[in-house]
Amino acid sequence: LEQWDGEQVETIPLPDEDGVSVIAFAFKEIVELLNTGVVELGLDSTFKTNSAGWEMYGILTEVNGQAMPLVTVLITTTAAAQPGAKQRVLESVLRWLHLYCPNSRFSLSDKDTAEINA
C-alpha cells in the first residue's frame, strides 16, 4: 500500500501498541468529497460478532438522511495490551479524519468507554 500512499490510498498513522493488532481504512474518495460538509460523526462498534475476536469500529456521517461510511477500524488485543490502547488507536483515527473533515462539531457514540473517551 505504501507505493500508492497519497494517491489511491492514504496511510492512517496509528500508534504502535504492544498486544494490539489494527487494520484501519477510510473510504478516501467519500471523505475527500464530503470534506467540510461533515458536521456530525457517528462511532459504533461490534462486540463478539466473530470467532477471531476482532472488534469492528465504524465511523459514519449523515448525507441526505442516509448513513455514509467514512472509516472502518478492525482491532484485537491480547493480555499484553496496555490500558487505554483501543482508545489511543481511535483517537489517532479521529485526528486523521479531522484533517479531512475539519467542520465536524459533534459525535454520537454508545456506552463503549473507548468510544466516549476518544
- pLDDT on residue 96: 92
Residue 49 lies in a domain: yes
Assigned domain for 3 exists: no
> Residue 9: inside a domain, yes or no?
no
pLDDT one-digit tens code per residue, 75-113:
999 999 999 998 899 999 999 999 988 888 877 776 666
For residue 27, tell me if it sits in a domain: yes
Q: How many domains does the chain have?
A: 1
* Length, in residues, of the chain: 118
Residue 96 forms part of a structural domain: yes
| Burial class, 118, CB count within 10 angstroms (exposed 0-12 / middle 13-18 / buried 19+) | buried
Indicate the pLDDT class of residue 47, thresholds 50, 70 and 90.
confident
Residue 25 belongs to domain spanning: 20-117
Domain membership flag for residue 5:
no
15 domain residue, yes or no: no
The cell numbers describing 27, all together, are: 473510504
Please write the tens of the pLDDT for every residue from 51-75. Answer: 888 999 899 998 888 888 899 999 9
